[in-house]
């Protein structure tokens, strides 16, 4: 009788320990990615009056600005249901910071094959950096449902070989 009981406890222990190790391990992964790899939710990069986007720098002049050799900034405005600029031309190897806001409702900017995936909130500025090492045409999309024309809200980045 005693032997059976201790075997049962051993089996129980074998199940309990992994069930403790799993959440502890996941928490450790969370700490490493947050503080080690700095993967976290974006903070507030900047504020802009959503009613005055048209007349507030840098959104009064949407487009591509060259900051230095291979360094670019794209000032972009999203609205129902388009991006301004909708076509962006860059040389291959460009490192680009997208500075984007919305002048009406919540939109999103998703550029496949890059790490670019941000929400665009009216009143806030989103800032995200991507590198384009391959020539080609890269479509980008609004990925926050923003009304009837949401599925038509996209643009294109043309990366040109030097």
**Interacting residue with Cu ion among 74, 96, 130, 146 (CB under 5 A):** 146
Among 142, 155, 157, 159, which residue interacts with Cu ion (rule: CB under 5 A)?
142
Euclidean distance between CA atoms 57 and 48, whole angstroms: 9
Alpha carbon of residue 108 to chain centroid: 9
Cβ nearer to Cu ion, comparing 88 with 108: 108
Point out which span in 35-43, 83-91, 93-101, 148-156 binds Cu ion (CB under 5 A): 148-156
Q: Please check whether residue 113 is in contact with residue 140, taking contact to mean a CB–CB distance below 8 angstroms.
A: no
Q: Which is nearer to Cu ion, 127 or 143 (CB)?
A: 143
Task: Report yes or no: 88 and 114 within 8 Å, Cβ to Cβ.
Answer: no
Q: How many CA atoms lie within 13 A of 81 on its CB side?
A: 14
CA distances from 101 to 3, 98, 108, 145 (A): 69, 10, 9, 16
Among positions 77, 153, 157, 159, the unique one binding Cu ion when judged by CB under 5 A: 153
- Mark 93-132 with x for binding to Cu ion (rule: CB under 5 A) and - for no binding: --------------x-------------------------
**Site residues (CB under 5 A) for Cu ion?**
107, 142, 146, 153
């Amino acid at each position: 009788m005693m032997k059976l009981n201790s075997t049962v406890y051993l089996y129980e222990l074998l199940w309990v320990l992994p069930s403790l190790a799993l959440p502890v391990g996941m928490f450790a992964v969370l700490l490493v990615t947050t503080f080690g790899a700095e993967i976290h939710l974006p903070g507030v990069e900047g504020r802009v009056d959503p009613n005055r986007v048209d007349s507030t720098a840098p959104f009064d002049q949407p487009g591509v600005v060259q900051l230095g050799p291979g360094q670019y900034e794209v000032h972009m405005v999203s609205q129902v249901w388009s991006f301004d600029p909708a076509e962006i031309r860059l040389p291959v190897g460009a490192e680009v910071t997208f500075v984007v806001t919305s002048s009406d409702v919540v939109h999103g900017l998703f550029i496949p094959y890059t790490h670019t995936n941000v929400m665009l909130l009216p009143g806030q500025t989103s800032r995200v950096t991507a590198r384009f090492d391959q020539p080609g045409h890269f479509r980008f999309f609004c990925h926050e449902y923003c009304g009837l024309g949401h599925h038509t809200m996209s643009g294109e980045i043309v990366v040109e070989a030097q």
